[in-house]
Structure 1
Amino acid sequence: MDKSSVHRPLLSSRGSGHAHVRKTPLFVNLAKWILKIAMGLLFTLWVALIFVFPAEFGSELYEKWVAATSGTVFGVTGSTFLLFSGPIIIIALLSVVFLIISGEEELHEKKTSSYPSFRLWTFPVLVDGPFGVVSATEFVGILLFIAFVIWAVCSYTVRILNSLSADSLTFKENSLLFMEILGLRFGLIGLFCFSFLFLPISRGSVLLRLINIPFEHATKYHVWLGHLTMLLFTVHGLLYVVAWTIEGNLLQEILSWTDIGIAILPGVISLLAGLLMWATSMPPVRKLNFELFFYTHQLYVIFVVFLALHVGDFLFAFAAGGIFIFLLDRFLRFCQSRRVVDIISAKCLPCGTVELVVAKPENLRYNALSFVFLQVRELSSLQWHPFSVSSSPMDGKHHISVLIKVLGKWTEKLRGNILKSSEDVPCSPTKLTASVEGPYGHEIPYHMMYENLILVAGGIGISPFLAILSDILHSVHQGKPCLPRNILIVWAVKKSNELPLLSTIDMESTCPSFSTKLNLQTHIYVTRESEPPLEEGQVESTVESSLCPMSKGCGMSVLVGTGHNIWSGLYVISSTLGFVILIGLLDILYINPFDITTWWYKGLLLLACMVASVFIFGGLVVGLWHLWDRRMSAKEQRKEAEHIKAVAHNDLDERSPANFTSINYGARPDFNEIFGTVSREWGPVDVGVFVCGPPSLQSSVAKEIRSHTLRRQSIDPIFHFNSHSFDL
């Protein structure tokens, strides 16, 4: 290999060839900086307000705000909503504008440095523990939430004790009153944590896209917040239960449902639903019976509705912003998932892996490190399973591929249905009816931001890296901006029958003479075989079964938050304006004229307005978006039909297996040796390490990266940990 080709970024902005980088206009850069500063300042003020609220100063500040703004038609609830839920919605609206004016420029504006740089968000601090692998940035976030809870509890405790010391009550009366007031404060602290709970699971949220955090990363934040929120709500309920038990009126209090003030019975129902979700989400239960976890988690609807009934509109306004963002995403996902999608072809590979090729429209864009949620209605009408995309967006404009490892009941049924269909008459009416949500992923292809890559996979974890390889090879061949030049693949498999998965990419035909342009090495470890099963290490690569196009639906719907910036932006803006209009009309025409004061009823009306605004105003935009999609799809229908036939035929052909650098039998990867070799060969550079596999593999890699970073010298590279493992 030409050394100059290895040590020079391929097709960078300064390079020659076909790459052409359009310079961003000055006013666009200025607008982006103004938006970034505005969003950062607003978020900082919002978080600061939440932190100071438990103090007397915070309470006084809130009371002054309410006194100054409650005279509007929206009343105290509107003032509270604007102060505590408004900031996150305003940030979402500004994010829409930012994403629209940014377009693809963010990718082209990324520049590499001659020196490696340390990054908090890619440095693993905690490796083994209840939180899994935690980066330095995530660790700071965890500490901030813990500090807020401790500070809030201490502040409220001191304030309660000071207020009780002025009352002439008996010790028992003081103790009971202390528990009830402290229980109320625990509920308020839990409500603040609850305001963040739904943000990470809004899969196509503009907020996640703004900070470039994909859903598979954000789910663990939801898990952490869920544990903390339920712990606070449980303590909130227990303090009241203990106090009421001592008073001797437990049953009477639990069954009470007052019009003015907190309604207790809805709170009990909400807490019971939350406890059931919490118990079944624990790792032992979730791993042994995923379906139980999945179905009980749908109780979040009961949890949210009865929470609104429990606290009323005034207190629910503290956390309504996150719920509204989630409703926007959930309705869009519901609309997208109604479409029946073509399964262009299906294969059952000898290693127990199923490959599905699904039709998609040309205007639906995604990145290589994306994933989709797949539902097969013949297997289950409720279950949705996430799978990494194994194809690059440059592999074809009209299809997307996923590799599915047969591990559980759902995947076993899928493989069985495909095999059964293959035994029928070729191209028979037997079908699998699929629906797809997504694709979701990073806003920009961040694997293209590193000149040096280490891809560590365990078993089927190679799937997203096939998409990365294909993406890089296509970019190099077509002369598009592409930084990676050194790529090391470390793949651990149990048996050698999994090796043909690498043959799904024909590297030489994708990028002729790629070995002269990329330094690509592949180290494979077959852990449960001591020697090659066949002569000279050759393994069987035939396909057990393959099918003709299995359904006659259409391509995937473009109704996804990451699908089209302008349409998704209009959807968010129209829903938000609709919510303000509905709340205003409700106050003007109903609540104020008829003097509606019932707390739980007003809480239900507030939640109903949130849902109605998304359904009516957002639904109007979604309908227009759908008509636009149909019009665009009609133009490419003939071209797409011809392409589907070609893909269905070509995917059945056998491909020559990739050339492996080394295959090690009966061994596991020694990451200390691997990273040491990379340090000596690559020198002081940034190395992006991407891991997709079981938690043990992630921990091993993260531990080694942390060790190398802590003892790093100036001549060594800096390794950046990036996990692509998805775990619900």
Structure 2
Amino acid sequence: MVDTSVHLGRYHNAPRKSGMFVNFRNWMVNEGRAKIVFWLFVIAQLLYFAQSYYVLWTSPSVKTFRSVLGQGLPIARGAANIINLNCAILLFTVCRNLISGLRGTFLGRIIPFDKNITFHIWIAYFIVFWTIVHVIAHYFNYLNVAIVFEKVTSWQLAMISGPGWTGQVISVSFFLMVTSALEAVRRKYFEMFWFTHHLFIVFFGALLMHGSFCFIKGDTGDPCRGGPTFWKWWVASGVAYFLERVYREFRGREKTIVSKVVQHPSKVVEVQFKKSTFKAKAGQYIFICCPEISIWEWHPFTLTSSPYEDFVSLHIRVVGDWTTKFAQRLGCRFGGPEEAGMSPPKSLPFVMIDGGFGSASEDVFDYEAAILVGAGIGVTPFASILKTIWYRLQNREGTIALRKVYFVWTCRDKEAFEWFQDLLVTLEEENIDDFLEIHSYLTGKLKINEVKNICINDGEDGKDAITGLRARTHFGRPNWDEIFSGVRNKHPGADVGVFFCGPKVLSQALHKACNKWTEATPTGTRFYYGKENF
């Protein structure tokens, strides 16, 4: 294994400066904004529940029913108010065009817009929690009412009454949406997740109806006075999401032509498109739909083309049902039994693409130095970024803060390096002012004949036997402490962007390394972590 310290500097595990203020500033670099927004939202919910409970408990309109319902009514109504609050925000988190626009404004420095999907998931969990509170409280209410008023049963109140049956529809539809969205299910059965998640139409429809029925009505001081209120909470996000979907559908159906298809090793397919109205930044992602496979399914992929190229390209790893069918429709054959006897396609399919949408990687040009880490096919956003960097440096176009890029690529098998090899060779040969450092890591085992071939050919013409680069391939996993300490030594007092696309386990390791080696002082180096999240 080649010693990376030759490039990055010797490993110095120097202690960081300590102190409450320094530790707080270190924490703010990667954790602060997201954690503060999260806990402020949690506290806001608790305070709103407490305020709702107090108002309802002390309201003259509720005193009439206290002897029958006790704590049940104010708890149920307080939880319902929090559900309204969460549902009012839920759709905003998936308005991708709105978020892409806002992340480029001053709000992007305050609100972590790149965490929108994470926040979307947490809001769903909050709705689950408050729904449980709401349902349990109402079941106690149904039992108490059934005891006092013998003409109605608790079962009738829970299942047949207006609030009851709409509540059951809401609960069942939301349960299916949440369970199908769990990571283990979503990754293995994406189509099931995609279609089940569209039960949000049923969910919100039932919620709009749910408030139209009033569980308790009194002769004086009606607790339902004023009618249903959920629509007042939901109308802004509902309209925003509706306009978002209409715009995306319209934009997605603009003329798109598949201009080129390349089958790469490791079951990777490169697809190039031409679309005259398409605009995107380096590092962004798009959604693609192939109506011949499914008119309803839109799948996200990171761009591998640069904005300076006259085409749009994606590199798609064939791992699931949709990607397999799409690759076969494009004429790619990987030797599977289901491909036996398949004739080549007579034409390329009609596709629709929508985007681009903002991601963390597009901020790479805002830092003095950047560490780009791709795992396997997770290298795709950095193909776009490296192409754009090369173009801007070659043409001396504008000024950028970025002065140094450390590119780290880890793969399990050596064939995975091949599809990105040509670009890396070009970048290495055209490396202006030692701008780019490439570090490739092979983490999988090699066969005996592969080891012999590497031993014979390694170093020939000064190039690595696996990648064809001057930079040598390292065997095993990266030593992140060594890499980060080397970068910190070479860039004291700088802001370094660390961008990653790949599996969760490696993301966690990088996130911890950024926090460990960050020193938010005037002379310290700060590592800002960003992960592709769509």
TM-score band by shorter chain is 0.7 to 0.9
Is the counterpart of residue 693 in structure 1 residue 519 in structure 2?
no
Q: Distance in 1 between matches of 2:180 and 2:71?
A: 33
SS at structure 2 position matched to 1:429: coil
Helix, strand or coil at the partner of 1:204:
helix
Give, as a single letter, the amino acid of the residue that structure 2 aligns with 1:294.
Answer: W
Q: Matches of residues 356-367 of structure 1 in structure 2 within 5 Å?
A: 356-361=271-276, 363-367=277-281
Cα distance in 2, alignment partners of residues 214 and 435 from structure 1 = 30
Correspondence 1:294 to 2:194:
yes
**Residue matched to 2:352:** 435
Alignment of 1:171-210 (within 5 A): 174=67, 176-205=69-98, 206-207=101-102, 210=105
Residue 147 of structure 1, aligned match among 40, 43, 68: 43
- Partner Cα separation in structure 1 for residue 407 and residue 127 of structure 2: 40
Which residue number corresponds to residue 390 of structure 1? 304
Query: Match for 1:193: what amino acid?
Result: N
Letter paired with 1:400:
V
Kindly provide the amino acid, as one letter, of the partner of residue 675 in structure 1: F
Match of 2:382 among 434, 444, 465: 465
Q: Which amino acid is 1:365 matched to?
A: K
Instruction: Work out the CA distance in 2 between the residues paired with 1:122 and 1:407.
Output: 38
State whether residues 690 and 721 of structure 1, in contact with CA within 8 Å, keep that contact through their aligned partners in structure 2.
yes
* CA–CA separation in structure 2 for the residues paired with 1:496 and 1:537: 16
Aligned mates of 2:331, 2:413 — CA distance in 1: 22
Asked if structure 1 preserves the Cα contact closer than 8 Å seen for 2:284 and 2:359, the reply is: yes
- Equivalent pairs counted in the alignment come to 471
- Cα distance in 2 for partners of 1:220, 1:537 equals 49
Deviation at 1:689, TM superposition (A): 0.7
- Aligned counterparts of 1:443 and 1:679: Cα–Cα separation in 2: 21
Per-residue CA deviations over 1:327-351 (Å, capped at 9, x if unaligned) read: 1101111222334621111111122
Aligned residue number for residue 295 of structure 2:
381
TM-superposed deviation, 1:241: 2.0
Letter in 2 for 1:691: F
Residue 466 of structure 1: how far off its partner (Å): 0.9
Given that 2:331 and 2:344 are in contact with CA atoms closer than 8 Å, whether structure 1 keeps it comes out as no
Question: Which residue of 222, 247, 270 corresponds with 1:355?
Answer: 270
In 2, Cα distance between the equivalents of 1:334 and 1:352? 30
Q: TM-score, normalised by structure 1?
A: 0.59
* Equivalent residue, structure 2, for 1:3: none
Q: Which consecutive residues of structure 1, in runs of 5 or more, have no partner in the other structure? A: 1-117, 125-134, 540-655
1:273 to 173, 176, 188: 173
Aligned to 1:123: 29
Distance 2:508 2:206 in 1: 40
Match of 1:721 among 506, 526, 529: 529
| Amino acid paired to 2:443 | T
C-alpha distance in 1, partners of 2:380/2:91? 29
- Deviation, structure 1 residue 504: 4.5
TM-score for both structures, normalised by structure 2: 0.79
The CA deviation string for residues 198-227 of structure 1, in whole angstroms up to 9 with x for no partner, is 111011114455445898642222111111
Deviations 1:615-639 (A, max 9, x none): xxxxxxxxxxxxxxxxxxxxxxxxx
SS of alignment partner, residue 199 of structure 1:
helix
- Code of the aligned partner of 2:259: I
2:233 alignment partner, one of 318, 333, 350: 318
- Give 2:401's aligned residue: 483
Q: Tell me the distance in 2 between the aligned counterparts of 1:331 and 1:233.
A: 30
For residues 713 and 123 of structure 1, the distance between their equivalents in structure 2, rounded to whole angstroms, comes to 11
SS in 1 for 2:306: coil
Question: What amino acid does structure 1 have at the position aligned with 2:370?
Answer: L
Q: 1:691 deviation in Å?
A: 0.9
Does the residue aligned with 2:96 lie in a helix, a strand or coil? coil
TM superposition shift of 1:516: 3.5
**Alignment partner of 2:438: what SS?**
strand
Among candidates 322, 328, 335, match of residue 416 of structure 1: 328
Letter of the 1:281 counterpart = A
How has the CA–CA distance of structure 1 residues 156 and 222 changed in structure 2, closer, same or farther, with 3 Å as cutoff?
A: same
- Please give the alpha-carbon distance, in whole angstroms, between the structure 2 residues aligned to 1:421 and 1:668: 32
Any idea what the Cα deviations from partners look like across 1:112-142, whole Å, max 9, x if unmatched? xxxxxx9889733xxxxxxxxxx32110111
- One-letter code aligned to 1:319: W
Q: Provide the secondary structure at the position in 2 that maps to 1:690.
A: strand
CA distance in 2, matches of 1:165, 1:339: 56
Structure 2 letter corresponding to 1:185: G
- For residues 506 and 454 of structure 1, the distance between their equivalents in structure 2, rounded to whole angstroms, comes to 16
Determine if contact 1:215/1:440 at 8 Å carries over to the other structure.
no
- Residue 309 of structure 1 corresponds to which residue in structure 2? 209
Counterpart contact for 1:487–1:520, Cα < 8 Å:
yes
C-alpha displacement of 1:368: 0.6
What CA distance in whole angstroms lies between the structure 1 residues aligned with 2:58 and 2:272? Answer: 67
**Which one-letter code corresponds to 1:335 in the other structure?**
F
Q: Structure 2: how far apart are the matches of 1:325 and 1:447?
A: 29
The 1:450–1:216 alpha-carbon spacing in structure 2 relative to 1, beyond 3 Å, is closer
Letter in 2 for 1:520: L
Give the whole-Å Cα distance in 2 for the aligned partners of 1:675 and 1:467: 24
Displacement of 1:433 after TM fit? 2.5
Q: 2 CA distance for matches of 1:139 and 1:289?
A: 31
- Three-state SS of the structure 2 residue aligned to 1:240 is helix
In the alignment, which of 371, 382, 386 is matched to residue 454 of structure 1? 371
Closer, same or farther in 2 for the Cα pair 1:282/1:669, shift >3 Å?
A: same
- Which of 333, 336, 341 pairs up with 2:256? 341
Distance 1:372 1:122, change over 3 A: farther
Residues 344 and 217 of structure 1: CA distance in aligned 2, closer, same or farther (over 3 Å): farther
SS of the residue aligned with 1:687?
A: strand
What are the equivalent positions in structure 2 for 1:594-633 lying under 5 Å apart? Answer: none
The alignment partner of 1:505 has SS state of helix
**Contact 2:83–2:131 (CA<8 Å) still a contact in 1?**
yes
In the alignment, the residues of structure 1 paired with residue 486 and residue 456 of structure 2 have an alpha-carbon distance, to the nearest angstrom, of: 25
Distance 1:242 1:451, change over 3 A: same
Shift of 1:486: 0.9
Q: CA deviation at 1:717?
A: 1.6
Query: Where in structure 2 are there 5+ consecutive unaligned residues?
Result: 1-23, 147-152, 213-227, 459-465
Report the CA distance between 1:491 and its aligned residue: 1.1
Asked whether the 8 Å contact 1:156–1:185 carries over to 2, the reply is yes
2:319 maps to what in 1?
A: 407
